[in-house]
Structure 1
Amino acid sequence: MTEQTKLELIKSFAYGATPQSLNEVGRLTIQEAEAFQKENAAEIEEKKKELTEGGWK
């Protein structure tokens, strides 16, 4: 996985994507998405905070 793909997935989760929704669009299997979400939880939360502070709700 490239760094760009990783950053895109972090942003997707921060915007509210779920493992199921990423699977539906063919990005990852549900198991891969769940593992990614767990392994990158801190980065996802940081991105959520950044988005909220920038005015996104």
Structure 2
Amino acid sequence: MQEELNQFERNEVWKLVPRPNDHLVIGTKWVFRNKQNEYGIVVRNKARLVAKGFN
């Protein structure tokens, strides 16, 4: 997860701003995946932070 957050800062894709009183906060959630090779052995663990689009 920390690697994903570091990429956000490095790529400058977001910044933290104060919330306006007349707007709601968009929720987020973490999605985890295990990448496997052709033999089913876990090669890498991946984490993604995604926005809840239904809000």
Normalising by structure 1, report the TM-score.
0.29
Query: Greater Rg, structure 1 or structure 2?
Result: 2
Higher-strand-fraction structure: 2
Normalising by structure 2, report the TM-score.
0.30
